[in-house]
Copies of this chain bind each other. A is one copy, B any other.
Amino acid sequence: MTHNLALFTDLYELTMAQAYFDEGMTDDATFSLFVRRLPSQRNFLLACGLDSVLDYLENLHFAEDDLTYLVSLGKFSDHFLNHLQSFRFSGTVYAVPEGTPIFANEPILEIVAPVLEAQIIETFVMNQIHVQTVLSSKAQRVVMAANGRPVIDFGPRRMHGIDAALKAARAFYIGGVAATSNVLAGKLHQVPVAGTMAHSYIQAHDNEKEAFRSFIQLYPGTVLLVDTYDTLQGVRTVIELATTMGKQFNVSAVRLDSGDLLDLSRKVRGLLDQAGLGRVGIFASGGLNEEKITALVSAGAPIDGFGVGTSMGVSKDAPDLDIAYKLCEYAGRGRLKLSPGKPILPGRKQIFRMSENENDIRDVVAQADEQLPGRPLLEAVMRNGERLAAGRVELEAARAYAGRQTARLPDRIRAITPAEPPYPVEVSPELSRHQKEIKDRVQVV
């Protein structure tokens, strides 16, 4: 994204910012970003999106044409627009590393900055953490279902826009996906790229055999798509080519993209093995999700890898999270709201994750300055608007970290079925006491 994204904000962020400015409200605010409730189909989430947030905060500024547009709205004073002209983000960000499993009401990040700054960034910060966490969490489930077989991202054509598809490829990789079909994501985010062939290529040739032969000659180790006309006939054609092409034939797999994948994969495996083509694998795609993959894997389908598109790409069963970015401290005083069903934990916080024999068993959300057993998950990643070393993590490291952290979770939490009981997350007695104090003190009128 080379857009200047300062105006990627809800209008009210800017009108409130002007109000803070006019009222001389320049004190630091703490905002906490968290998910209120997990979707019923998620036992945990895999935090993702921090890198995009820090990149945005480092570069945030209002360009001349942004200010010109704001002038045209007739809501902003010259005095305030002058202030925006020199606006930079000067705050501090605490966050869990990308790839950290998190649960409801646990801060994914907390921002401490002059209230005007912390307010203006709300929309972008929520948008990016939301979509990337939605997608990495979904990918983790698909990867879990594939149980060691590689999963390839085939989703770009049906994801929600360009940015989602680019960020998804990265989020999926952190969640354990092996590669993406998205070439631009490969270029921009260094995600491995992969691909096979489409029906259109077969159709454009006069017959399937000619198409296969041409493609093999150019890409000897390719994967051949065999379902354009008739899957089993397609496989017989592949076998015939293996015979006639001899040593030139080095096809790595055939791809099934429609029909009963369990039944077809068994029949195809049989045909290939019978022809001495045990080295040719079977790759499956076509409307797959974690449930269908689990069913195939459990039934012992001889499938060596999965291409997953739409369901993972839009996180179809849970496309959104009840994510919130809430003021929890201003001018050194904890803040909350009392709207029904939407509680806030006041002040800056820390998550302590407790383990037993290398297995994580319980979290406690506490005040930031508490010292509790377990490892603290939130760390400073940006200070005074500058990214710290902890805020720079290589993609491969984030992926490895996500894998290790997920492996530490109880089996029932990592499973794709609803966990009973859910992972225990408690609020520390100190923090509860603080929350109650503030509640008692709120001056409604």
Contacts and interface: CB of A to CB of B under 8 A. Distances in A.
Interface in A124-169: 124, 126-128, 130-131, 134, 154, 156-167
A359 interface: no
A430 interface: no
Nearest to A21: B218
Interface stretch (A89-97, A224-232, A361-369, A396-404): A224-232
A15 B225 CA distance: 14
B158 A323 contact: yes
B228 A8 contact: no
Contact of A330 (B183, B186, B204): B204
A167 B128 CA distance: 16
Given A9-B183, A20-B201, A22-B218, 4 more contacts: A7-B184, A123-B182, A131-B159, A230-B444
Interface stretch (A190-198, A242-250, A409-417, A418-426): A190-198
A1 B331 CA distance: 39
B327 A8 contact: no
Given A158-B126, A161-B131, A203-B337, A310 B314 contact: no
A1 B162 contact: yes
Contacts of A2: 2-3
Interface stretch (A205-213, A266-274, A349-357, A375-383): A205-213
A181 B11 CA distance: 5
B319 A444 contact: no
5 contacts: A8-B183, A23-B214, A202-B337, A203-B330, A237-B445
Interface in A230-272: 230, 233-234, 237, 257-259
Contacts of A22: 214, 218
A211 to B, nearest CB: 9
Given A154-B10, A200-B327, A230-B338, A160 B131 contact: yes
Interface in A299-331: 310, 313-316, 319-321, 323, 325-327, 330-331
A335 interface: yes
Contacts of A228: 337-339
Contacts of A313: 320
Contacts of A57: none
Contacts of A204: 20, 25, 29, 115, 327, 330-331, 335
A392 interface: no
B11 A203 contact: no
Nearest to A211: B19
Contacts of A182: 8-11, 123
Given A200-B16, A204-B25, A337-B228, A164 B157 contact: no
Interface size of A as a range: 35 or more
B15 A197 contact: yes
Contact of A229 (B123, B209, B229, B442): B442
Nearest to A310: B320
B207 A443 contact: yes
B10 A181 contact: yes
Most buried by B among A160, A184, A258: A160
Contact of A8 (B73, B124, B162, B196): B162
A196 B229 contact: no
Nearest to A202: B337
Nearest to A346: B203
Contact of A160 (B1, B161, B227, B336): B161
A130 B314 CA distance: 12
A158 B130 contact: yes
Given A127-B156, A314-B319, A218 B184 contact: no
Contacts of A183: 7-11, 14, 69-70
A386 interface: no
A66 interface: yes
A168 B181 CA distance: 25
